[in-house]
């Protein structure tokens, strides 16, 4: 998980993103007025990960005003434009995420996170893929074994939503932030499929204060 420093103006964003990509990206050129996926991926430290590239891009330009953002988006090449339309994240409050969030889709949630005590009675389960011979099976594992779990709340209400943060990453600050990632399912009871909830697996965040 990576902290993002968003661009503060469109000139800075274009200068950074129109970079020619890595040395082996032979068909992209710096400062040609066209921004390709490989160029955004270079800045984000990514490779062939379209969904994460779009998530990184959206959070990076989140502080630009509407006209500046539109100007930058217009410079994306056809392939990145298609990826952007497919993976553009939902912008949600914690109180909206359970009802409006789409599983497996990108989402950005704004609020105040608070870590769930690992010694609490929190028992949510996630499915981990494991190869057994030539077949892949999914094994339920307590989410708290794989992630640090936070509840993120609205600024104006007590509603919260679960977010999952890599255990080996720095702890999230207890202040207003944006967190960006992919919405996934969490089973609250092992043998009860009706107990499914949503959570956000975080890839990026940024400070708002």
| For helices 10-17 and 66-73, angle between their N-to-C axes, nearest 10 degrees | 20
Give the Cα separation of 40 and 35 in Å (integer): 7
Nearest alpha carbon to residue 109 among 196, 21, 201: 201
With contact defined as beta carbons under 8 Å apart, do 39 and 93 qualify? no
All structural domains of the chain with their residue ranges: 2-88, 91-207
**103 has a pLDDT exceeding 80:** yes
Give the Cα separation of 105 and 51 in Å (integer): 9
- What pTM, to 2 d.p., does this model score? 0.89
| Segment 17-69, tens digit of pLDDT | 999 999 999 899 999 999 999 999 999 999 989 999 999 999 999 999 999 99
91-207 belongs to CATH 1.20.272? no
| Segment 118-173, tens digit of pLDDT | 656 677 888 777 877 777 787 778 888 888 999 999 888 888 999 998 888 888 98
């Amino acid at each position: 998980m990576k902290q993002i420093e968003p661009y503060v103006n469109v000139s800075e964003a274009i200068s950074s993103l129109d970079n020619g990509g890595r040395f082996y990206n032979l068909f992209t050129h710096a400062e040609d007025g066209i921004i390709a996926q490989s160029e955004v991926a270079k800045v984000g430290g990514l490779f062939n990960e379209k969904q994460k590239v779009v998530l990184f891009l959206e959070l990076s330009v989140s502080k630009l005003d509407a006209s500046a953002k539109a100007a930058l988006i217009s410079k994306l090449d056809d392939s990145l434009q298609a990826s952007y339309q497919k993976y553009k994240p939902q912008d949600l409050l914690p109180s909206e995420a359970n009802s409006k969030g789409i599983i497996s889709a990108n989402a950005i949630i704004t609020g105040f996170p608070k870590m769930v005590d690992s010694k609490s009675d929190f028992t949510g389960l996630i499915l981990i893929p494991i190869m057994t011979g030539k077949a892949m099976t999914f094994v339920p594992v307590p989410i708290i074994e794989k992630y640090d779990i936070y509840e993120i709340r609205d600024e104006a209400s007590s509603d919260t939503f679960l977010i999952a943060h890599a255990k080996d990453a720095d702890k999230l600050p207890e202040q207003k932030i944006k967190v960006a990632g992919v919405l996934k399912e969490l089973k609250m009871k092992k043998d009860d499929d009706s107990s499914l909830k949503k959570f956000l697996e975080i890839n990026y965040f940024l400070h708002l204060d």
